[in-house]
Structure formats: C-alpha cells, structure tokens
Amino acid sequence: MNVVNLTPFPAQAFEAIDQHDQRFHVFVLRQTFDFSSGKLEYAGTQAPLCDADIYFDEGGVRQESDYCPYKPRCDVIVNAVAHAPEGQAVAAFLVGLNVVRGGRRIIEKVLRISGRRYFKKRTGVVRFLQFFVRCGTLFLLRPNPWTITKPELLKSLPLRACYAYGGECRIAADDPGARRVARKYRLTPEQAAQHPDVQISGLKPPVAHVVYEPNIQGLGFAPHWYLKATNTRRVAVPQIEALRLRITAKQFWCAKGAPAIDPVGMGVRSKLHPQRRAMLGEVDDAFVNSSAALPEGFDFGIWNAAQPDQQVDDLAGGDIVELINLCPLKTPGAQPNTKGNLLLQLSLPEHECFLRMQWEGGSARVVVLSIDTMIVEPEDHQLTLVWRAAIPMDEVGGINLCEFGMRTFAERDLARCSIKEMWKREEESVA
C-alpha cells in the first residue's frame, strides 16, 4: 500500500495487533498550533511525531509516544504552571480547566494550589497534656498529635507530580533509624537482592523501602513505621489538591501517615498507577511462555494517559478550551474574568483530517481521523492535536493508494452535498 501525505503535518502509518491476535493498520497525524497571537494558528515549525516518552527535567512524563495503536477515549493533557491571580503572592488559589462544546462543559476541573506547608508534630508539652486528656476521658477522646502549618506565600507552581500527594520512604543500612525498623517492614532477602540499587548500581540495598504506587514522586506519604524509626516530626503537605478532597491533619493521623489518596494534576498519569497498570491484563508464566501478543484481559484503555476526569469521548472543531490561572499574566488573549482570575480561551479550528483510500479497481473511500490526544502547554504558547484511525486489515485489502488529507468543515459539507446531488441524479436516471 502506497501512503502519501498531502498535508504539511507529520504523519505515519504502521501495523499493530489486538488482544485477539488480529492485525490492523494505524494511521496517525500530529498538528502543532501556536497561540502567541492570542488565537490558535498553525505553528511555523511542526513538531515531529513523538516516538518515545518525553520527561520533564524534574521527573514525570511530559508526553507519551504517538505510536500507540489505539486509544478508546480522547486525552486532554495540560502541562502548565499555576499562576496566582494578578501575579500577587498568596497562600492559596484555584486553577481550572474547562472544555466547552455548544455552551456545555464536557470537562470541568478545579484544583487548589497552596504554598509550602507541613504536617508538624505538636511539641512534647502539648502531647503530654493530650495524654492526660485521653486518660481523663478513659481514652474516649484521642487528641491529634499532628497539625498543619500555615502555608507560605507563592506566586506560581508547576503542575507536576512531585507537588501532588505521594512519595517514597527508604531507610539505608547505615541510617541511625535502621535498627528501629520492625522486621515486618524490612526488605526480605529476596527483595533486597532484587532491589534496583543492587541490580542497576551494585550498591548495598536499603533496610526498608516503600513507595506510594499511584505517585512515587509526590509529597505527604510517610507510614507510621517510617515516622517512628526516623523520629520525623515534619512532613511536607501536597501543594496540589482536589478542591473538595483536601488532605487534613486528622486524615494523616488516622491513616498513620499513609492515607489512600489518588494524586491529582492535569498532566500525564503514570503508567505505574495501579488503575492504569491493571489494564495490562494477566502477565503470568502462561503468557510469558506463550506466543500471544498481548496478555489475557488486556484493555486498550491503558494507552489513555490523561487523568480519568480529563478523558472525553471525542473532540471536534469549535470546541473551546478554557484555562484559568494556568498561563502567565501577559499571555496574549488572556483576560481577567469577573472573579479576577486570568482566563484564556482557545477555540479549536473547524477542520478535520482524513484518509482517502483508493482501491485498484478505482473505487475510493474517505475515513475521518479522530482526535485522541490534545496537549496544551501555555508556557510555550503551544497546543498539539494528535489524530488517529485504526482500520482492520480486511478493510484495507487491495488498496493501492492511501492519502492523508485535511479539509475545513465548509469543504467537508460541500463534498457531502456533492455526493448527495450525485446520488439524486443516479436515482432520477434509474427512474
């Protein structure tokens, strides 16, 4: 099959296989837009298709490869820096993402951004008095020995996984607290032998090491055994929180330093997140020793990289992206709203990308590609759309030419009218 790209955008065709060992063709095209003028325009330099995951300098995935075979839903990913309203340093502020279609919000998300805070253990005197309160109430009351400090002021914060809830706790063999780690929290000999420090660097493994799997990079995760062994009296609180699910000192205390909180953000959700990782299916010895391409129970949803509340059925031209306090103060096109928050609205261009497939006999078919990824990066004034189509092999048999194309909605509607007119003339001639 001869594939020709008639657009100015990077495009590629490749083969893939599904969980039923059936092969199919994948067609993908990437568009880069610039909004330095305040509205979306085609960027002068079109970024190539992303062939491998790209990471931020501070860790965390910026974007995943465009060469995935299929996404059941459309990812809306925002790699942004949160900016306080009017550029003034404040203790906390809100940021928001909306995607609006015909006046209806198909995505509506608000996060709370706070200055640096800490879970702090109360002083010995206070905890001593709390002990007497417990005794005096026959242990019916259990005063919280932890509190949260007042937030420091901040003007901006990158929306990165390292500022959301999560983290890891490890105690090295030469750490003074190593001897205070109970046996059940220590690494077993097998775990120690397989630890990355040993496997990759040849170093001595830690005595104990636990990670918060939904977000290894985050803040606030500190199990009670770690707090006790290290005599830790201060733990950083997440700076990015869901508006209605804010972490509290009581929650931290009752969960013994390890509350089960899903980390929030607007960027890529880690492949190691248990909910995403579970979509891989059953990777057992039977699969490893088989010739199957994908495990039993594999779900193509694993390729959806956005947070679940940033996945939609589709995106289309005319949809409006609204960013609230997610761009610098002087961003072209951004204006304060009625509440004093900086609002930037971007309207997706009314066009569509498609494939025109022509068979050897001369018949042709047009297949419209779907947008399955949108990446917004306000600091760079860039928006990216990735279009994709997955077509079974038996539907492309005998095709000798496949062309990537693009047309406006007006051109699309005109083509549809022409086809209807042609059919009408055919029907009249038969009659």
326 and 355 part of one domain: yes
Q: Is the confidence at residue 427, as pLDDT, over 80?
A: no
Query: Region 336-349: what's the mean pLDDT?
Result: 93
Burial label for 279, CB within 10 Å (0-12, 13-18, 19+), is middle
User: Of 138-142, 267-271, 387-391, where does mean pLDDT reach its minimum?
Assistant: 138-142
Q: Does 121 share its domain with 240?
A: yes
The confidence score (pLDDT) of residue 136 equals: 58
Provide the pLDDT for residue 396. Answer: 81
Task: Give me the mean pLDDT over the 19-24 stretch.
Answer: 89
Looking at the chain, the whole-number percentage of residues with pLDDT higher than 70 is: 92
Question: Looking at residue 429, what is its pLDDT?
Answer: 59
Question: Among 220, 254, 288, where does a domain finish?
Answer: 254
264 found inside a domain: no
Whether residues 55 and 144 fall in one domain: no
Residues 41 and 100 in one domain: yes
Mean pLDDT of 201-218: 91
In the structure, what pLDDT confidence band is assigned to residue 423 with cuts at 50, 70 and 90?
low
pLDDT at residue 236 greater than cutoff 90: yes
- On whether both 343 and 414 belong to a single domain, the answer is yes
Q: Where does the pLDDT of residue 140 fall: very low under 50, low under 70, confident under 90, or very high at 90 and above?
A: low
Please state, rounded to an integer, the average pLDDT across all residues of the chain: 90
pLDDT for 40 beyond 60: yes
Domain boundary, last residue among 254, 280, 313: 254
pLDDT given for residue 405 in this prediction? 96
Q: Looking at residue 248, what is its pLDDT?
A: 92
The whole domain housing 15 covers: 2-112+301-430
Distances (CA, A) of 173 to 41, 66, 140, 205: 56, 42, 40, 7
**Is residue 300 pLDDT above 80, yes or no?**
yes
Q: Amino acid identity of 247?
A: I
Confidence of residue 420 (pLDDT cuts 50, 70, 90): low
Give me the mean pLDDT over the 176-185 stretch. 92
Total domains, the chain: 2
Q: Encode 5-42: b = buried (16+ Cβ within 10 Å), e = exposed.
A: eebebbbbbeebebeeeeebbbbbbbbbbbbeeeebee
142 plus 63 within the same structural domain: no
Residue 426 reports pLDDT greater than 80: no
Domain presence at residue 401 = yes
The pair phi, psi for residue 404, each rounded to 5°, is -80, 135
- Same-domain pairing of 131 and 227: yes
Please name which of 30, 70, 34, 35 lies closest in space to residue 50, comparing C-alpha atoms.
Answer: 30
| Model pLDDT, residue 424 | 57
Q: What is the mean pLDDT of residues 320-331?
A: 95
> Residue 223: which pLDDT band, with cuts at 50, 70 and 90?
very high
User: Is there a contact between 112 and 243 (Cβ–Cβ < 8 Å)?
Assistant: yes
